[in-house]
Amino acid sequence: MGSKEKIIEALNRNRADELAAIIQYMLHHYTAEGLESPAVIEIFKGTAIDEMKHAEALGERINYLGGIPTKQPTEIKTGGDLKKMIADDLAGENKAIADYKANVKLAADEGDPATRLLLEKILSDEEGHADTWETTLEIQK
């Protein structure tokens, strides 16, 4: 497998995770209940929009590299109370952080600085999301 194909495959894995995150966050936005939920509902919605931007940017890069952007999301976690939803979202963000770090290294190793910069920007956003959920979970205790 050539370097471009490795990068396209990695970006499609990231895109599939982003598509799942969009659906998961929107489901949480629609279904969250409880006294604490109004503020958290807005965080779910805003984060879903961030993830949409990530999926779009990844799709554009995949297309530029000659690949076909995936339309298939990975696993979507549903159900539970507000605390479980936030915990599920935090777990997803932590997975994304690890995956993006690995793919930043892949892009650098494969000599693709444009992809590396894109992934570093998305990584920074994901770290911000994780921080938000960690803080929100502390408030929920």
**Residues 91-112: tens digit of each pLDDT:** 999 999 999 999 999 999 999 9
Does the pLDDT value for residue 114 go beyond 80? yes
For residue 138, what pLDDT is reported? 84
For residue 11, what pLDDT is reported? 98
Q: Which domain holds residue 90?
A: 3-140
- Phi/psi class of residue 66: alpha, beta or left (left: φ > 0; alpha: ψ in -120 to 50)? left
Q: Is 54 exposed, middle or buried (0-12, 13-18, 19+ CB in 10 A)?
A: buried
For residue 35, what pLDDT is reported? 66
For residue 39, what pLDDT is reported? 85
Q: Which residue has the tokens 């696993």?
A: 75
Q: SS3 of 91, please?
A: helix
User: Of 33-42, 79-88, 105-114, 130-139, which gets the smallest average pLDDT?
Assistant: 33-42
CATH number, domain at 93? Answer: 1.20.1260.10
- Helix-helix angle 82-109:113-140, to 10 degrees: 160
Residue among 134, 126, 48 at smallest CA distance from 87: 134
Sign of the four-CA dihedral 125, 129, 134, 139: positive
- pLDDT tens figures, 7-58: 999 999 999 999 999 999 999 998 887 767 788 889 999 999 999 999 999 9
The count of structural domains within the chain is 1
b/e sequence 10-48, b meaning 16+ C-beta within 10 Å: bbbbbbbbbbbbbebbbbbbeebeeeebeebbebbeebb
Region 116-123: mean pLDDT is 98
